[in-house]
Structure 1
Amino acid sequence: MNIYSSAVNEAISKTLLDWPLWSAIIATISVISLGFILTVKGIINKDWDQAFIKFVMLLGLPSLVLKSFLADIDIDKFISELSVIILGFIFYLIMTMVSRVFFLKYNRDIQDTLAMCVSLGSTAYFGLPLIREMFGTPGELTANNFNISYWVFLCSVGFLIMSKDNTITTQVGLFTKTELKLKKENLTPAEMELLLKDQTQLKKQLKQDGLVEARKMRNANLKKIFSNPVLIATMIGFFIWATQLIPGIRFVSYNGVDKFSPLRVDLIFPPIANILTALAAVCTPLAWIAIGMKMAKGNIKKAIKDKNVWYATFIRIIVVPIIALILTIIVATIGNASGGWTIDGIQLSVILIMAATPPANVIVVYAINFDKEPELACNLTSISTIAAIVTMPIWTVIGAVLGSTPIFN
């Protein structure tokens, strides 16, 4: 026990004195604050954030994702990253199933919005740039693998829940209550039959109209999701990275590099690597400035006064990372005990950072498109972003300290 305590104390001291780590954290906070201040002071146009976000989403993040997958692979690394992928699916399955429990006292629309906001964070837009600065390519690779499950649940469960029209259920329920009330009134059988028939027709029409409208919006949103450049880059990048394990696929020798997969476009045409590196480098500061600008545009004063926003923020940036931490410890312990896989300290820190991000921008867009408590979603994003800037260093330190223990070595 004394040896273990000594190792933990040494890990804490090393982490607290780790200037590269703190430099990345301080840089993140400083650039986000700079974007906020410049917008508030009117030095930069508050609408520029849309241009920055478009650049980041269309070019910056896809380049960052693809670049991280253009790396060598061995079977041990693949198994380790596969454990991260499986862990991601378990994590998001649990979150999307149980997150509603935290908000049972609210109406269905608020339940849906807050549950999805705390289940699905801004892992790509907020998390990836920070991870890039802290951990480089190894961290980026783990983040992108963890994000595979994120995209699956965002495109499926997240979309289905946010697009569900609760007004139809509510109105149909009201009709049912009316039917029960009518049975207690002194109506002739013919009058009762006529009224119930009218209500049945109204129910059918209501459901049909609602389903048709929901289907149109669902198709439009699904098209946007599956054409997302970040998602496309993740799928292509993972395919290139994983297929390097196929026996005999490494047969290309070119430009002084011996034996690599023909899919490694960065080795076949080296300028591609430089282009991706340049775009990925620009992505990080632009993303941070845009986050600060979005914070400045939000109604911070109103959001601060909303107790519901603070409650959901606590769940998002404290409870959710704790759940992720517990699951990661369990999976890492099983891997160590069985000798089947390992999860290292960098992977742990990356998972914690991804779990502690503010709500996903896509969920906020869903809330706006489907008119499902959009103001609440926007206010929650503003407050949780500010809070995440404060708590993110704490989770990073926790990840670094626990990552130095025998479980993650």
Structure 2
Amino acid sequence: MNEGNLVAITAQQVLMMFLLILTGYLAVRGRLLNAEARQGFSSLLVNLVVPAMIINSYLIEFDPEILSNLVRTAFASAAVLVIGLCIALLSTRKKTGPDQPILRFAMTFSNAGYMGFPLINALFGAEGMLYASIFNTFFNLLIWTAGIALVDRSSDAAKRNLVVELIKKPALLAVAVGLVLYLGQIPVPYLIAQPISLLAGMNTPLSMLITGIIIATSDLWPVIRSFQLWHAILIRMLIIPAASFLFCLLTGTGGMVGAVVILLEACPCAALTSVLAIQYRYSEQLAAGLVVLSTLLSIVTLPLCAMFVQMMG
């Protein structure tokens, strides 16, 4: 990790993401793509590209020091995710309203896969992606347990189907496969490894194009003046990253491990927020506003977060 260039690289990477978002936006406005394209792109990303990227991150030589860092990453990831959930619950404990559950979900869960993974890959390469994959394991466990419990008004169904849903998640299966390959140092032939690498490289452009399509197909003006929207964004973009930074500082979780965990927690609201709003009948405009506006704000907040991470060392 070149710490002297951390802020500059983060700013450059976020700017490139913004240009890709703009490309998706203009493609819809120019009628090169339609609103339905995001469904197909999202399915491709979640079910094929992200798993390929996760497996690709494990295709490196075994290093005892990295293995030790994986354990540190697991502890830090679980801790900051639970801290984020607690902050979301405490900050809304006195608030009521039909959309409170989706607001809590948006506060708790970041867009770590869509925006965080490309950023970590650009900053830290394969080793950083290993740590990001560990974070993603705990992230997915929490999102399909506590996350679904937050938004599902009849959570019994979620509880019954929880194990099945987890097993079906390609990202979690990819983590399991990747760990076996890494810990067992199983050689992967070039004819297999190279297509995996090429698929992994699609993550950044595809995920940003999806965000651009969402912006182009969303009517955000009615929700921009909403206090609850800005309150949720404040918690997601400032309070939770600050708490994560403080936790890593107090526990001595520095270096690449601390940087990866903090930056992933500093990402904007999860893109899944909009999907769950539709599925569980919350305000779709509010959910889209949370995702889009927090994504736009991350152009400023992620480089600032990188600056603080660099100070932590």
TM-score higher than 0.5 here?
Answer: yes
1:349 corresponds in structure 2 to 259
3-state SS of the aligned residue for 2:34?
coil
2:57 corresponds in structure 1 to 68
2:208 corresponds in structure 1 to 288
1:159 corresponds in structure 2 to 148
Q: By how many angstroms is 1:318 displaced?
A: 0.9
Contact 1:303 1:383 in 2 (8 A): no
1:317 corresponds in structure 2 to 237
Q: By how many angstroms is 1:324 displaced?
A: 0.9
Alignment of 1:257-336 (within 5 A): 261=185, 264-266=186-188, 269-332=189-252
Contact 1:100 1:112 in 2 (8 A): no
1:255 corresponds in structure 2 to none
Q: How far apart, CA to CA, are the structure 2 residues paired with 1:141 and 1:232?
A: 15
AA partner of residue 146 (structure 1)? F
AA partner of residue 65 (structure 1)? I
3-state SS of the aligned residue for 2:202?
helix
3-state SS of the aligned residue for 1:51?
helix
Contact 2:132 2:261 in 1 (8 A): yes
1:359-394: per-residue Cα shift (whole Å, max 9, x none)?
Answer: 223344333322244443232122212212332222
Residues 322 and 381 of structure 1: is their aligned pair in 2 closer, same or farther, counting only changes over 3 Å? Answer: same
1:33-90: per-residue Cα shift (whole Å, max 9, x none)?
Answer: 2212332343432322222222211211111000101222232221122111111111
Q: By how many angstroms is 1:216 displaced?
A: 4.4
1:181 corresponds in structure 2 to none
1:205 corresponds in structure 2 to none
AA partner of residue 377 (structure 1)? A
Q: TM-score, normalised by structure 2?
A: 0.89
1:147 corresponds in structure 2 to 136
Matched, 1:380 2:287: no
Q: TM-score, normalised by structure 1?
A: 0.69
AA partner of residue 315 (structure 1)? I
Contact 2:6 2:310 in 1 (8 A): yes
Contact 1:39 1:45 in 2 (8 A): yes
Residues 36 and 225 of structure 1: is their aligned pair in 2 closer, same or farther, counting only changes over 3 Å? Answer: farther
Instruction: Name which of 13, 28, 37 aligns with 1:39.
Output: 28
Q: By how many angstroms is 1:145 displaced?
A: 1.1
Q: Unaligned stretches of 5+ in structure 1?
A: 1-10, 166-213, 245-260, 334-342, 404-409
Contact 1:100 1:111 in 2 (8 A): no
Matched, 1:392 2:302: yes
Q: How far apart, CA to CA, are the structure 1 residues paired with 2:102 and 2:151?
A: 7
AA partner of residue 122 (structure 1)? N
> What is the percent sequence identity of the aligned residues?
21
Larger Rg: 1
1:140-182: per-residue Cα shift (whole Å, max 9, x none)?
Answer: 11111122221121121112222234xxxxxxxxxxxxxxxxx
* Structure with more relative contact order (C-alpha pairs < 8 Å, separation 6 or more): 2
Instruction: Name which of 167, 172, 184 aligns with 1:226.
Output: 167
3-state SS of the aligned residue for 1:231?
helix
3-state SS of the aligned residue for 2:62?
coil
Q: By how many angstroms is 1:303 displaced?
A: 2.5
Alignment of 1:122-271 (within 5 A): 122-165=111-154, 215-216=156-157, 219=160, 223-241=164-182, 243-244=183-184, 261=185, 264-266=186-188, 269-271=189-191
Q: By how many angstroms is 1:225 displaced?
A: 4.5
Residues 368 and 125 of structure 1: is their aligned pair in 2 closer, same or farther, counting only changes over 3 Å? Answer: same
Contact 2:114 2:203 in 1 (8 A): no
Q: How far apart, CA to CA, are the structure 1 residues paired with 2:212 and 2:44?
A: 16
- CA root-mean-square deviation: 2.4
Matched, 1:94 2:83: yes
Q: How far apart, CA to CA, are the structure 1 residues paired with 2:216 and 2:300?
A: 17
